[in-house]
Amino acid sequence: MSADIGGRECLCYWLGHVRLSRIIILVSVILFLVPLITHYYLSSVESGVSSNIHDVHSHLDLSEDYSLLKAQELRTRVEELIRIKGSVSSELRDMESKRQKLQLELTSYTRHIEQLKQELLHQQTELNRLKISVEQAQVAQREALQQNTPELALPLRLTANVLPDTLKPISIKSSENCRMHSCFDHSRCSLTSAFPVYLYDPDMYPVMNNGWDVDGFIKTTLKQTLGYNPHLTHDPKEACIFLVLVGEALADSKEINSRPLDLNALKKLPYWGGDGRNHVLINLARRDLSVGLGDVFHSMDTGRAILVQSTFSYSLFRPKFDLIVSPVLGPPGGDVWQDCVSMLPARRKYLLSFQGEMKNHSAKINSNLTPYFGDDELIIQKLATPSIESVKELDMFIVEHLREMARGTTSDKFLFEFECVPANEEVQGGGGNDWALCGTDSSRKAVLKESTFALILVPGNPDLISTTLLQARIYEALRSGAIPVILGGDKVELSYSEVIAWRRVCIFLPRARVTELHFLLRSFPDTDLLSFRRQGRFIWERYLSSVQNTVDTIVAVLRDRLGIPPKPVDDIPAISVFNSTFKPLQTDVLTGEAEPEENLGPLEPPYASPAFRRNYSLLLTQGHELWNLWGDPFRLYPQLPFDTLLPSDAKFLGSGMGFRPIGKGAGGAGKEFCEALGGNNPREQFTVVILTYEREQVLINSLSRLHGLPYLNKVVVIWNSPKPPLEDLRWPDIGVPIHVVKATRNSLNNRFLPLDIVETEAVLSVDDDAHLRHDEIMFGFRVWREHRDRIVGFPGRFHAWDLNYQNSWLYNSNYSCELSMVLTGAAFIHKYYMYLYWYWLPQAIRDKVDEYMNCEDIAMNFLVSHVTRKPPVKVTSRWTFRCPGCPVSLSEDETHFQERHRCINFFTQVFGYTPLLNTQYRADSILFKTRIPHDKQKCFKFI
């Protein structure tokens, strides 16, 4: 028994000092062997076989003879071993539980270490950003201290404050030689005066003789349209110029032989000043297009007054002083696109057309003009008869050659009518050897819209530099998209020629080149035909189409002569959705997703883009573009997307104010790139404009995601809902001001309101459910800085030709290798285009947007492409935006795409063509997918 106890103690001692793995192996062996041995032993006992007892003894390594043991004792031994196994298993379970606990603690510590590493990285990034911000602030401070030129802004007005002095009248000879330097009083027109214009009320100050009166339509509409002009003043003391309306003069009866203009009444005007300086006499033609009434100032002493009309002779016209204008044949104002026809196709039914008649009115003309010109003028006219006859012979040759051209065998078709059919003595105009108009306005328009070119024959009278009929023919041709071909154009002057580049609109040919006319017209490719046609419609719509445009253009040309900038464009006041006593709740808890750790630029205080810095130099350096290309000469804008750029070395040689070159000019990779904006323009920021409608939580999430965004100036939320925000709505503190602007009504056009609180050139227009990462926004901003005149954004779309009907466009959002639009739900645009959207774009387009509650982004793409003739720029690979949990948007409506199809085709009708252009590339970061050394960083980690 003692040996048995000693064996157990040895076994326990051995089990306590062996490794866990050995114990597990031993127990496994025991658990495997014991059942086998027990089964074998019991079988031996029952069978009485004793030959295996010795083997069993040897396997169990027991000192006693099992043959002497009973079955009960064996069971006890087995139970003891089972108990030992249970005890060992329990200890193993306890040890495994401790191991798992230690493993959980180890995982928790590891996770905590990773969090500390991320926090360390975040703090290091913030520290680097703060260092960059401090450095940028120090640079800005040094610039402010070193600045030696004042910051330009809108100037204070400096106007005259006394009435014009009365001076002696000048001689007729001096009047004939008047120029701006000799007959204009510049002292009343300071550069900062804003060019105040005073209008003599034609009802209070009539200047017409008895039996004559100014056309009622012109009188009424001129007073009305001038009332909309920002330069109008009712104080004659501060006026720079004084407008006097003298026509269109209409006689009460045909028997009246007196002149229309009463010189005595004219010179008795209260501010005439004795010599009429700074007075502008306006004679606008509308119904009577004849030479006689077109020139009411002939042989009249008007002193130093500037004459404005459509008909001038060489002897009367004073270049750069008097002004040739087009007759007012259009409506008072408003949209005029309905009067135009499509610019396409480039080549129309007739290559060239002409309708007109020159009647022999010599006797009638002489008798009619006797009251106007006097006996001396008649003698001069008779002496000039031989030269007029020679001109008539040339006219006859030209007419005959044109008829032969029409009878030719070429495939080109011509329409020439040199006699009005049916014959009508009441043809419009005539006299002065000028070609009268045939038919009605609608019949002439029907011919012109089928003509590629419109032939215009200049008056046969060599002394006429312009006639009302000539200007009327140009008006009608441009309206219908027919390119004017002026035969004899080397001897005439067109309206507003000192500012309008007519050679981009009309073809001027000497009469001697009539034999080369057909060859010349055949040489024009389609691109040039459409360029002429597009420019012609641009000039017609802006300067000729209505009374409003005519009046504004007259004022603008006179102001342009003096180098005075126009008045600034009107910003729309931003009215807060909150009243003055309510203070919205704020929260520091940001609900947006965490941004990847990446230093994208410094955090700066709000910095508005410098405004009105080119008030006086713009007209000198880019005056041609203002009048003929992308500009608007009627208003002064804070900035333009077309401002000229400095040479690269200028920023280091005296003109570095505001510039932040990469690596201070040395360049660099990602590290240096994130520290400065670089590029070709001075530093600037951008404004985020968000349009929202009753989706408060979606809006709050979007605002939260803007926290910590570099170069962000402010956020403007356009609240389109009639219901104010909830009073307990908590607005996130994102480090920049958030302005919530109340919209007057629910309209998608409100996305492009030119609000006064938007103080940056760059505007990021985003939907409230658009989710953009900070690096995507920053990359888009940097790309926009290099393409300021274009839309730069993320979701791309394109217009596709309808192959089923072959006459319309379809809106397409499928994945494509070619696009023509970038949706303004996530795009950068220049604020200049927001002004154009509201003040220049036809009202019909904004009405269509309100009708469909759709298509404002298509309208903006049309506008920008029309102005620039460039496609938009797409950045990054984003094609669509998903907003999990957001309410259903308008774009998911079944009719959404159908409406957008119709929008594209309607906008094409309004513009006269489809200005959208295709592009086949997108912009990515320069070092995107470029292998760089390990010690360098890419410009953006994920772009």
Residue-wise burial string across 779-817, b where 16 or more C-beta atoms lie within 10 A, e elsewhere: bbbbbbbebbbbbbbbbbbbbbeeeeeeeebbbbbeeee
Distance CA 566, CA 560 (A): 8
Cα 477 to Cα 443: distance, rounded to the nearest angstrom: 13
857 is catalytic: yes
| Encoded amino acid at 248, one letter | E
Q: Which of 417, 485, 411, 476 is nearest to 449 (CA)?
A: 476
Residue with tokens 């709740």: 585
Q: Please check whether residue 762 is in contact with residue 686, taking contact to mean a CB–CB distance below 8 angstroms.
A: yes
In the block, tokens 């935006």 appear at: 881
HEC readout, 618-683: HHHHCHHHHHHCCCCCCCECCCCCCCCCCCHHHHHCCCCCCCCCHHHHCCCCHHHHHHCCCCCCCC
Residue type, 355: Q
CA distance to 34, 71, 72, per residue, from 5 (Å):
20, 20, 19
SS (H, E, C) 288-319: CCCHHHHCCCCCCCCCCCEEEECCEECCCCCC
Say whether the peptide bond before residue 605 is cis (omega within 30 degrees of 0): no
Q: How many CB atoms lie within 10 A of CB 55?
A: 11
Cα four-point dihedral sign 328, 329, 332, 338? negative
The tokens describing 692, both together, are 């929202």
CA max distance for the chain: 170
Instruction: Give dist(CA 245, CA 266) in Å, integer.
Output: 11
User: Cα(606)–Cα(126) distance, rounded to whole angstroms?
Assistant: 19
Comparing CA positions, the residue from 556, 623, 821, 605 lying closest to residue 714 is 605
Say how many C-beta atoms besides its own lie within 10 A of residue 522's C-beta.
Answer: 10
Q: Which of 675, 664, 507 is nearest to 600 (CA)?
A: 675
Burial class of residue 83, CB neighbours in 10 A (0-12, 13-18, 19+): exposed
The strand ranges marked E within 777-871 are 792-793, 796-801, 809-812, 821-822, 826-830
The DSSP secondary structure of 326-356, one letter per residue, reads ----S-SSS--GGG-----SSS-SEEEEEE-
Active-site residue identified among 185, 847, 857, 893: 857
Residue pair 242/198 in contact (Cβ under 8 Å)? The answer is: yes
**Residue that the structure tokens 């949706």 belong to:** 823
The distance from CA 612 to its chain's CA centroid, rounded to whole angstroms, is 19
* β-pair type (796-801, 821-822): antiparallel
Measure the CA dihedral 331/335/337/338, to 10°.
Answer: -70
Q: Confirm if 475 and 446 have CB atoms less than 8 A apart.
A: no
CA distance 499 to 325: 12
Buried/exposed 694-713: b ≥16 CB within 10 Å, e otherwise: ebeebbbbbbbbbbbbbbbb
Hey, what are 306's tokens?
A: 């500037």
Task: Identify the CA nearest to 311 among candidates 482, 199, 463.
Answer: 463
Q: Could you tell me the two tokens for 395?
A: 């006219």
* Nearest-angstrom CA–CA distance, 713 and 689: 11
Catalytic residue numbers read 857
